Amino acid sequence: MARFDAVLFDCDGVLVDSETITNRVLCAMLNEAGWALTSEACLQLFIGKMVRSQKDLIEANTGKPLTDAWMEEFYERRNTALEKDVKAIEGAVEAVKALHAQMGGQIACASGADRKKVEMQLRITGLLPYFEGRIFSGHELPRTKPFPDVYLAAAAALGAAPQRCLVIEDSVTGTQAGVAAQATVWAYHPPLHAVCPAHELEAAGASRCFAHMGELPQLV
């Protein structure tokens, strides 16, 4: 019997190399708002998290309310930067294509990001055809990561028990979400540009770390 009935991918940092691009825009805007924050500190604070969910933190450090207008400007500037610079993670297109065939189409993208961003990035990188109709956004559910809602929704849509799903993540927050869904979580951890240390991913519940997306079909 196959080890897994479905493979559920996070998007940012797993399928698309977008996290440094988004972080660049967010860091610039927070500095403009009065929060003197380095790029490295910004990445560590916000990786895997919905910006709006950090409202209290942002307001405490900028001394200004986090308004809808500010969020709209962030989305606009972020999307412009992503349209220009986003690329697929090395080996991701080949891995997704292979797993789509291997799993009989039982793969999904379950992201904490907004749907517009996820679909745009998958379209630009050529990954959208493999996930069409199987894209899930934490923005559309009662709770986003680290809660399990987005992974539970993806598993349910595929008709798979969460315990029979493999989740591919790169952040502690996302790993916690996969574990909370009772899925098996493997962490993509490229040693030279990982966003979270391997020991933190393992402490969050990742049962395996792997270094290259091209390895994934064989591991599965």
Given the residues 5, 12, 17, 170, the one annotated as active site: 12
* CA distance readout (Å), 16 to 67, 119, 124, 155, 162: 28, 11, 10, 21, 24
**10 annotated active-site:** yes
* CA separation for the pair 112, 131 (Å, rounded): 16
Tell me whether residue 200 is exposed, middle or buried, using C-beta atoms within 10 angstroms of its C-beta: 0 to 12, 13 to 18, 19 or more.
middle
From 10, 17, 114, 149, the catalytic residue = 10
- Burial class for 202, CB neighbours closer than 10 Å (0-12, 13-18, 19+): middle
- Here the tokens at position 192 are 């030279």
- How far CA 135 is from CA of 30, 43, 107, in Å, comes to 29, 25, 10
Catalytic residues: 10, 12
